[in-house]
Structure 1
Amino acid sequence: MIMLRSIGINFAKASPYLRTVRFNSTGSQALNWVEYLALKKQGRRINVTASVLTGLAGAGLTLNGLANIEIDPEKPIMGFDPLYVLIGGIMLGGFVGYLVGPVIGTPLFNLKNRAVLHEYKIKDKIFLERIKQNRVNPTSQSLANPVPDYYGERIYSLKDYRQWLRDCNAFRRKSREFL
C-alpha cells in the first residue's frame, strides 16, 4: 500500500484516475498546494474578466443591432413601452455575453498554463475529493447557521482552506448543539 503523507491519499484505495499518476524525478516538480491555489485563483480571474468583456461586447452588439431598427415610440411592442423593450434586449444581450465568458476564458487559462495543466487537473481532483470529505450536511442549515461554501468555490489560499475547515467544524458543532 503506497501512502503519500504530504497529500493524504492512499493510492491503493484511490480512484483509477489517481492511480495512473506518474512521478518522474527527471520531469517537472509536482505542483504544491500554494501553486495550485494560485493557479485556481488565476483561472477564476481570467474567467471573470472574460465574462465582463464578453458581457460588454454582447450588450454593445445588441445596442448596435437595435439602433439600426426603426421603431415608432408611440406604438407599444407586445404591449410594452418600446424603450423598456430596447433596454431589456440590451440587458439580455449583455447577460448572454456574460455567460459566454467562461467558454473563452477556460481555453485561455489552459493555453497559458499548458506546461502544468496535467498536474493542475490532478491536484484539482484531489482538492475536490477533500472538499467532498470535509463539507457539512446542509440539511440542518438555518438563517442563524448558514452552510459554509458547500463547493469550496471561494478557497484560493491555504488560509482560506483552513478558515473553511474551521467554519465547517463550527457549523457541525452548532447543528449538534442546537438541534
Structure 2
Amino acid sequence: MPTRRFISTSKSRNIAGSVDIITIGGPYSNKASFFSNLNRTHNHVERKNMDWNSYFALRGTRRLYEYAFMVPSTVLGLLGGGYYFTRQDFDPTMLIFGVDQVLVYGIGTIASALLGLSLGAVVGNVIFRSVHSNARPLLDKMDREFFKRIALNRANPTGNLLTRPIPDFYGEKIKSVHDYRSWLRKQREYHRKTLYYI
C-alpha cells in the first residue's frame, strides 16, 4: 500500500507570534531535513504561510547563491580593473586631480573589485528568486516580518558607543530560531548595561 502524505496546519508560538505553520506529514518527516523536501514544498503554490525554520533555511540558501556569484564577479572585477589601468599611459610627473597616478589607478582597481562584489550579490539574489519563484511571495512576506521584528526588538541605538556597539544591529548572523532567541537575550543584556552602566 503506497504511503500517503498530507499537509496539515497548526498554531504554534514562534518569533512571529501566532502564525500558521505548514508541516509535511509522513513516516520519516521527523528525520528528513528541510532541504530534502525543498523542491516538493515549493510545488504547493497555494501555501499561505511559511514556518520560521523553513524561512531561515531559504534565507541561508539565498546567501549561498549570493556568495557563489560574489566570488567570481569580484575576481573578474579585480582582473578587469587591473588590466584596464595597467594599459593606460603612465607618466610619474603627471597628477590626476592632484594625486599620484599610481594611487589613482590602485584605487580604481579596488573600486572595480568592489563593484564586481556588489553585482555578484545582486545577480545571485536574482537567480535565487527565479529558481525559487514559487516561494518568492512568502519569502518577501517573511522578510518584512523578520526585519520589522528586528527593528522592534533591537536595543536603543541612541546608547550605541563606538567602544561597545550594538551586537548584530541588522540581525545578519541570525540563521535559526535558536539564533534569534540568543539575539534577543543579547539585546536585552546590552540595553540593561547601557541603562544601568553595568
Q: Which has the higher strand share?
A: 2
**Which residue, out of 100, 111, 116, partners 2:135?**
116
**Which residue, out of 8, 12, 21, partners 2:17?**
8
Question: TM-score, normalization: structure 2?
Answer: 0.68
Structure 1 vs Structure 2 CA RMSD = 2.8
Q: Quote the offset at 1:81 in angstroms.
A: 4.9
Equivalent position of 1:104 in the other structure: 123
Number of aligned positions between the proteins = 161
Of structures 1 and 2, the one with the larger relative CO (CA 8 A, separation 6+) is 1
Mapping of 1:5-84 within 5 angstroms? 6=13, 7-8=16-17, 27-28=46-47, 30-72=49-91, 74-78=92-96, 81-84=100-103
Task: Give the 3-state SS of the residue equivalent to 1:116 in structure 2.
Answer: helix
- Structure 2: stretches of 5+ with no match in the other structure: 1-10, 20-43
Asked if the contact 1:145/1:174 (under 8 Å) is kept, the reply is no
Residue identity matched to 1:63: G
Change (3 A) 1:157 1:82: same
**Which residue, out of 127, 133, 153, partners 2:146?**
127
Whole-Å Cα distance in 2 between the matches of residues 26 and 142 of structure 1? 46
Dislocated runs of 4+, deviation >4 Å: 79-82
- Structure 1: stretches of 5+ with no match in the other structure: 11-24
Q: Quote the offset at 1:9 in angstroms.
A: 5.4
Equivalent position of 1:159 in the other structure: 178
